Amino acid sequence: MQTIVHIENVHIGQGMPLAIVAGPCVIEDEDTTRRIAERLKDLAARLQMPLIFKASFDKANRTSIHSYRGPGLEKGLRLLETIRTQCELPVLSDVHEIAQVVPAAQVLDVLQIPAFLCRQTDFLLAVARTGKPVNIKKGQFLAPWDIANIVDKIASAGNRRILLTERGAMFGYNNLVVDFRSIPIMQQQTGMPVIFDATHSVQLPGGAGSSSGGQREHAPVLARAAVAAGADAVFMEVHPDPDKALCDGPNSLPLDTLEPFWRQLQAIRRILHDGDD
């Protein structure tokens, strides 16, 4: 029996409507972040799709020391709290070290474990002990069945509010490939809902030399396939002008292209539900 994870008014899991986790890769400034959140909220309300807003206050794993990382913990959390209260949206962000966990848990509705840190036991336990929902990005170096050990670590702290995110696996150098079998495998082995990260799955890690490249044009194709494979939610990074984004622009989706894309995902999810009736 699959767990349903409740995050404010968003319910993710088997039998629930498809949820969307969306926002910019990183907080750039207050105006841009708020504008994105408001546009996403309006679209989600119009389509009646559950929405969680995501944005990073710090991208600690950027390729280059010169890359923009974000406003940092204090300023970033203040802005996410503003989005949470004024836009009335649950918010998600990633944490990168134990010292960030407690202050982040005071603001965020979901704490996210970055893919590169998904096996760091002490860090995982610190996040789990907050009692907040935890979104685990499956490392690019892991097989889908390996995620069960990570779930056990979180659950050992008494926290079973766990989401798992498929974001592709390394395929040679600077490239990722998605094995869609991983979605039902992770669901069946752990009983936890699975999110598909549509935009990081088309990332070309380090592929632009001092930054990662990406192929955003393929993200909708992979997302549709993931929902057809049973994904419970879709994660995507979006921006008003991805070519000018300060982080992950090559794999981010333009805000003004989202409505037909979301409608397609919603329709696929409904077909699956109709088949279960």
Pairing of β 10-12 and β 5-7: antiparallel
How far apart are alpha carbons 22 and 271 in whole angstroms? 23
pLDDT in tens, the chain (277 residues): 789 999 999 999 999 999 999 999 999 999 999 999 999 999 999 999 999 999 999 887 766 787 778 889 999 999 999 999 999 999 999 999 999 999 999 999 999 999 999 999 999 999 999 999 999 999 999 999 999 999 999 999 999 999 999 999 999 888 999 999 999 999 999 999 999 999 999 988 875 555 567 789 999 999 999 999 999 999 999 999 999 999 888 899 999 999 999 999 999 999 988 766 5
How far apart are alpha carbons 110 and 133 in whole angstroms? 5
3-state secondary structure of 171: coil
- Chain-centroid distance of CA 153 in Å reads 20
Pairing of β 194-197 and β 233-239: parallel
User: In this structure, are residues 19 and 49 in contact, taking their beta carbons and an 8 Å threshold?
Assistant: yes
Residue 242: CB atoms within 10 A of its CB come to 22
pLDDT of amino acid 118: 96
What torsion do the CA atoms of 98, 100, 105, 106 make, to the nearest 10 degrees? Answer: 140
Strand segments (E) across the chain: 5-7, 10-12, 19-23, 51-54, 91-94, 110-113, 134-137, 162-166, 169-170, 176-177, 194-197, 203-204, 213-214, 233-239, 253-254
Pairing of β 134-137 and β 162-166: parallel
Residue 13: CB atoms within 10 A of its CB come to 20
- What CA–CA distances, in Å, run from 111 to 62, 101, 270? 19, 8, 28
pLDDT of amino acid 69: 85
pLDDT of amino acid 210: 53
H helix or E strand, kind and range, residue 97: none
pLDDT of amino acid 174: 86
| Backbone angles phi and psi of 217, in degrees to 5 | -65, -20
Domain 5-276 sits in CATH at: 3.20.20.70
Q: Where are the domains of the chain?
A: 5-276
Q: Give the residues across from 234 on adjacent strands.
A: 20, 196
How far apart are alpha carbons 238 and 260 in whole angstroms? 14
* 257-267 burial: b if 16+ Cβ within 10 Å, else e: ebeebbeebbe
pLDDT of amino acid 276: 65
- Tell me how far apart the terminal alpha carbons of the chain are, to the nearest angstrom: 17
